[in-house]
Structure formats: C-alpha cells, structure tokens
Amino acid sequence: MKKMLVAILVIALFTMTACSNDTAKIEKVDQAPAKVQKLMDGFMKDEVSGGYYLLNNDKAEYYLYVQGDRRDRSMLATDIKDAELSLKGKDVTITVKTERVNVQGSKNRDVLYKVTLPKKTDTIKLIVDGKEGSFKRVFY
C-alpha cells in the first residue's frame, strides 16, 4: 500500500512540474510576430541612437530588440556576442555580452530575441557587459 501511495505521489509531482510555466528562456529569432513587428516599425524609423527595447507579445512572451547605433560613422560597431537569461525567484536577469567589430561592408547589426518568462515575473533586469543597463523603451 505504501509503495502505491509513493508511486502516486511521484507521478503527481512529475505532472505538476511538467504543467507549470516556471521556465525562462531566450532565443535569437529572425522575425517577430505581427503585433510586435507593428510596434517595432513605429519607432525603428525614428530611432538612430540604438538601444535595448522590450516588447510584450503576451503575458509570458517578450521580444528583446537590440538596435545598433546608426550615428556611429566609424567602421566599428557594437555586436551582440551572447545573450543569457537567469531566473531567481520572481526576478529575471537578461545578460548581454557585446564586442566591437569592424562593420565595413556589413549589413544591419540589429538583433531580435524571443524571451519566454514565467507568468509570475516581478522584475526584468538588464545587464550589459557586466554593468546594469536599461531598456530604452518597454512596450506592453
């Protein structure tokens, strides 16, 4: 009887864990959904100084848009080397590592990431090259 009860509890625990939406992940994508693209189109043509933008697609799905600096006349630009996401309680940290690269003859340096967050997220913090950063705009 005890073995059966333990087996039922283990199965119930696995089922609850599989159904919970407490995962956080970040992945580079090539295209945004229509709702997010419409928001991006509204500010992209006017912005030239670059920055980090957070766009909400629904309660648990965001898009991190990293726009390159269009004012830089040199042949160097900031390129996104890596982006990671960490979860601590209800707080999420997006860590971005950048590098300066030669852009002579290159195309657009803008990058888009899909960010999936737990539904009960309190804070989204941005860290760029080890220093606390900020989002230029956040769209909901």
pLDDT at 15: 45
Cα 38 vs. chain centroid, distance in angstroms? Answer: 18
Res 109: pLDDT: 65
How confident is the prediction along the chain (140 residues), in pLDDT tens digits per residue? 655 544 455 465 444 444 445 678 888 888 888 888 888 877 766 665 678 889 888 778 899 888 766 555 555 666 677 889 998 988 999 998 887 776 665 556 678 899 998 888 889 999 999 999 999 888 87
| CB burial readout 105-130, b (16+ within 10 A) else e | eeeebebbbbbebbeebeebebebee
What residues form DSSP beta bridges with 64?
54, 113
pLDDT at res. 35: 84
Residue 2 in tokens:
């005890």
Residue carrying the six token digits 């509890």: 9
